[in-house]
């Protein structure tokens, strides 16, 4: 079974530029997450989808971040414009079942390491 | 109070030692609990789920105390390969919330 695929692996941009990340979850997984992990901290949820609907985006800085999950499969996360403090690893994860499932494992992609200079 | 709090690290232990990690959570309505492992510059991976009755997987034992909102992970007979960051994860109604993680360094 193929894992969660993310691209690009690395990205360096200047502040105020735009950037987009792509995620292909494990086939058939209903739930997709985007997390931001700053060095030395745990992953912080940005947005969670169940199929193509948003479950939780309460911690997404909506003035600059946006995300979509078209057709309930692939997802993109965009930052426009980027700030220095956006430098982090952006992790995509997926789970087989919907949000009501109790013990559901989240499988992570390798992440995109973003550096904003 | 943070949603999920873990022991600050790092923990430096010799091979063969027993080490325990502690975690507390603030939402009493939390439904399920996990420990994830994250190697340096890698993605988090599920180590084990934590059940109310406690559960064991080889050298790893996880405990849950709902009354105290406390989770623990015990690693016996530490190996060099156990060196990693251990993340406590709590699931509320829908989302997975991660703690900051505790780094473990096992030395020869």
Q: Is B61 exposed, middle or buried (0-12, 13-18, 19+ CB in 10 A)?
A: middle
**Rounded CA Rg of chain A:** 13
Rounded Cα–Cα distance for residues A104 and B68 (Å)? 24
User: What 8-state DSSP symbol labels residue A106?
Assistant: P
Per-residue pLDDT, A57 = 96
Q: Which two tokens stand for residue B52?
A: 């109310």
Pick from A2-6, A88-92, B47-51 the range whose average pLDDT is largest: A88-92
Whole-angstrom CA distances from A95 to A46, A57, B85 are 16, 17, 22
Residue of B nearest to A111 (CA): B43
Confidence of residue B89 (pLDDT cuts 50, 70, 90): very high
Residue pLDDT, tens place only, B6-56: 998 899 999 999 999 999 999 988 889 999 999 999 999 999 999 888 899
Q: What's the confidence (pLDDT) of residue B93?
A: 81
For an interface test with A, which of B44, B57, B92, B100 has the most A Cβ atoms less than 10 Å from its Cβ?
A: B44
Place of tokens 């190996």: B79
Q: pLDDT at position B2, please?
A: 77
Q: How far apart are CA A87 and CA A113, in angstroms?
A: 8
Which pair of tokens denotes residue B43?
């993605």
CA separation for the pair B91, A92 (Å, rounded)? 17
- pLDDT for position A2: 83
pLDDT, mean of residues B69-95 = 95
SS3 at position B82: helix
**What is the structure's pLDDT at A52?**
86
List chain B residues with CB under 8 Å of A102.
31-32, 91
List, for residues A68-89, the tens digit of each pLDDT value: 998 889 999 999 999 999 999 9
Looking at the partner chain, which of B32, B44, B101 has a beta carbon nearest the beta carbon of A102? B32
Q: What are phi and psi of B82, to 5 degrees?
A: -80, -10
Classify residue B52 by burial, with Cβ atoms within 10 Å: 0-12, 13-18, 19+.
exposed
Out of B93, B94, B96, the one facing A106 most closely (by C-beta) is: B96
| pLDDT tens for each residue of B54-67 | 899 999 999 999 99
Residues of A in contact with B44 (CB under 8 A): 43, 91, 108
**Residue B31 touches partner A, C-beta closer than 8 Å:** yes
**What's the whole-number average pLDDT of chain A?**
94
Cα B10 to Cα B48: distance, rounded to the nearest angstrom: 21
Q: Do A55 and B94 touch (CB under 8 A)?
A: yes
pLDDT beyond 90 at A103? no
pLDDT confidence bin for A100, thresholds 50/70/90: confident
Looking up tokens 């989302």 gives B95
pLDDT at B80: 98
A42 and B101 within 8 Å at the Cβ level: the answer is yes
Residue A1 confidence (pLDDT) above 70: no
- In chain B, what is the straight-line distance between the N-terminal and C-terminal CA atoms, in Å? 37
* A22 vs A52, higher pLDDT: A22
């Amino acid at each position: 079974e193929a894992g969660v695929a993310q691209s690009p692996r690395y990205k360096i941009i200047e502040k105020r530029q735009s950037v987009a990340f792509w995620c292909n979850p494990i086939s058939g997984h209903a739930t997709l997450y985007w997390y931001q992990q700053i060095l030395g901290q745990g992953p912080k949820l940005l947005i969670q989808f169940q199929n193509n609907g948003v479950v939780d985006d309460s911690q997404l800085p909506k003035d600059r971040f946006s995300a979509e999950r078209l057709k309930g499969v692939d997802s993109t996360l965009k930052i426009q414009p980027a700030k220095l403090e956006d430098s982090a690893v952006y992790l995509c994860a997926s789970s087989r079942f919907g949000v009501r499932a109790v013990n559901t494992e989240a499988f992570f992609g390798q992440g995109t390491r973003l550096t904003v200079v | 109070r943070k949603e999920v709090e873990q022991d600050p690290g790092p923990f430096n232990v010799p091979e063969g030692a027993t080490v325990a990690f502690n975690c507390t959570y603030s939402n009493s309505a939390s439904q399920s609990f996990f420990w994830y492992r994250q190697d340096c510059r890698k993605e988090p991976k599920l180590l084990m789920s934590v059940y109310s009755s406690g559960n064991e997987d080889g050298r790893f034992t996880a405990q849950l105390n709902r009354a105290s909102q406390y989770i623990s992970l015990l690693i016996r007979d530490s190996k060099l390969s156990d060196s990693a960051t251990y993340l406590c994860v709590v699931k509320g109604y829908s989302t997975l919330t991660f703690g900051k993680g505790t780094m473990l360094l096992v030395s020869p």
